[in-house]
Amino acid sequence: MADQPAEKQAKPERPAVDRKARLTAPSHRPTKQKPETRMGNWDEVSNLFEPGIAMQEAARCIQCPAAPCQKACPVHNDIPKALWFLENNDFGAAADVFRETSELPEMCGRLCPQERLCEGHCVVGKNALPVAIGKLETFTTEWQRANGGAPKPAAVPPTGKRVAVIGSGPAGIAAAERLARKGHGVVIYEAWPSFGGVLRYGIPTFKQNKGAVDRKLADLQAMGVEVLTNTRVGQDVDWSALTAEFDAVFVGIGAQSGTQLGIPGEDAPQVLTATNFLVRCNLPPEELPEAMREPLGNPQRVVVVGGGDTSMDCVRSARRLGAQDVTLVYRRTEAEMQGRIEERTHAVEEGVQFEYLAAPLAVLLGDAGEVRGLRCQRMALGPADDTGRRRPEPVPDSEFDIAADMLIIAIGYGVEEEWGTVAPTMVRDRWARIVADPDTLQTNLPGVFAGGDDVNGADLVVTALADGHRAAEAIDHYLAGVAAK
């Protein structure tokens, strides 16, 4: 049986394309809300393509035989084939092509850093804007949802084997869906009150509406996957009992523990981790853990420390909360920032201020212990570090203060330390990440696999998705050699 989300589409017969003409064809992008409009709502900034415009943009693809865009995609979407269907007015077939290799094409089209992946390797982009692959992926798959829905998988005989998937983020979703398509029984355990992991709790609605997450939950449930929310393994479910009950376990808990700055004053109540801030901005209290239901109040001067996409989510959310002054502090220059260019562009359009080459020294507190500001120090770029980026070095006598009544720390995520007490014999590295075989993603524990951010550290949705694929294949192979429990 095929383990792909949709029946594989044959590429239609077509004449040779005029690549020279396509290289000079005008580019198109979907419209988006104006800054002054979107500051008053939490709706998605970018609109979907109009069908005719989407077809014109797809027709810019020169159908490279080598398809560098496909090779640059972590799940290897067959982009030329999908765009050929789209160009020829077969939107459903185009969506099916994306679904052959991705369980989350609606979301990846919105969230992937395409400029570093598929679009960054688009040949058209050498002398013009690259083909808008991400926006076209979102258009086709959302069009399909609105016009009959995504194709349902063929029923397969149950194998009698059962797999527990811990975590309902991208890695867990991909593993669960692929295992269910192979006939295995799957139960997802999610510690938070609602399904979706980072897709629900970490992504603001102005980047991706929660309806996409709800539809994926419905897809899985229609396949027979059982989803248990508000169920924390190690607290509500015993780890030993879980491994005894199931034939295999996949751990996809992500990286949720926010990194601290290690500076004086950061334990003040108005100093929040990115997760603590974002979930309270973007979700109603009933979808949050009890500890995160306190309202954020009405901050007017917000400072965010960080330089990735999460920091952009924070500054843009703060503006929508009504903060008048929002500043991002980053210790390197804009050229070293690793987040999406589109997100920075949107932040600038929305009035966010940027302090580059600056590092925090201390949180400034008032007499009652409230946050009054952030003391920073100017930095200069020195020699390259292990990542290849130039290391920031302090500039003597360069301290300065930024007024603030809320500080948000968005400098990275790690795996929760408490996982070590849940599964104490599972090997982890010095950063608390789970150690898994690079090919099979099996841990040191028999029948226990892991993938996504809990293995790799904080990374992309699509790389976690790819891990889910690999783990599902390895688990299926493993289950073929063991008797059902």
- Nearest CA to 59 out of 113, 9, 19 is that of 19
Report the C-alpha gap between 110 and 431 in whole angstroms.
30
Residue range 419-473, pLDDT digits in tens: 888 999 999 999 899 999 999 999 999 999 999 999 999 999 999 999 999 999 9
Instruction: Name the burial class of residue 183, with classes exposed (0-12), middle (13-18) and buried (19+) by CB atoms within 10 angstroms of its CB.
Output: middle
Query: Which tops the pLDDT comparison, 430 or 118?
Result: 118
Report the C-alpha gap between 23 and 129 in whole angstroms.
10
Contact by Cβ (8 Å): 53, 136? no
Domain with CATH 1.10.1060.10 in the chain: 19-33+43-146
Tokens of 292: 């995160």
Report the C-alpha gap between 434 and 218 in whole angstroms.
30
Residue 207's CB: how many other CB atoms inside 10 A?
Answer: 22
DSSP secondary structure string for all residues of 373-387? EEEEEEEEEEEE-TT
pLDDT band with cut points at 50, 70 and 90 for residue 10: low
Query: Which tops the pLDDT comparison, 256 or 204?
Result: 204
Give the percent of the chain with pLDDT over 70: 97
- Nearest CA to 464 out of 206, 102, 137 is that of 102
pLDDT band with cut points at 50, 70 and 90 for residue 178: very high
pLDDT band with cut points at 50, 70 and 90 for residue 9: low
- Nearest CA to 86 out of 29, 144, 130 is that of 144
Residue range 224-251, pLDDT digits in tens: 999 999 999 999 999 999 999 999 999 9
Report the C-alpha gap between 308 and 410 in whole angstroms.
8
pTM across the whole model: 0.93
Q: The domain 260-411 is classified under which CATH number: 2.160.20.60, 3.40.47.40, 3.40.50.300, 3.50.50.60?
A: 3.50.50.60
Give the percent of the chain with pLDDT over 90: 83
pLDDT band with cut points at 50, 70 and 90 for residue 8: low
The beta strand positions in 178-321, using DSSP E, are 185-189, 226-228, 248-251, 257-258, 271-273, 301-306
pLDDT band with cut points at 50, 70 and 90 for residue 481: confident
Report the C-alpha gap between 370 and 378 in whole angstroms.
25
Contact by Cβ (8 Å): 131, 61? yes
Query: Which tops the pLDDT comparison, 485 or 22?
Result: 22
What's the confidence (pLDDT) of residue 4?
43
In a 3-state reduction of DSSP, which class is residue 371? strand
- Amino acid in the structure at residue 198: V
Beta bridge partners of 413: 258
Q: Where are the alpha helices (DSSP H) in 289-435?
A: 309-321, 341-349, 419-422
Tokens of 445: 């524990």
What's the confidence (pLDDT) of residue 1?
36
Residue range 372-423, pLDDT digits in tens: 999 999 999 999 888 788 899 999 999 999 999 999 999 988 888 788 889 9
What sign results for the dihedral spanned by CA atoms 250, 252, 253, 257? positive
Domain 162-256+414-479 class, CATH top level: alpha beta
Residue 5 has pLDDT above 80, yes or no: no
Report the C-alpha gap between 452 and 167 in whole angstroms.
10
pLDDT band with cut points at 50, 70 and 90 for residue 14: low
Which architecture characterizes domain 19-33+43-146 according to CATH? Orthogonal Bundle (1.10)
φ and ψ of 284, to 5 deg: -70, 155
Report the C-alpha gap between 23 and 6 in whole angstroms.
31
Residue range 62-111, pLDDT digits in tens: 999 999 999 999 999 999 999 999 999 999 999 999 999 999 999 999 99
Domain with CATH 3.50.50.60 in the chain: 162-256+414-479, 260-411
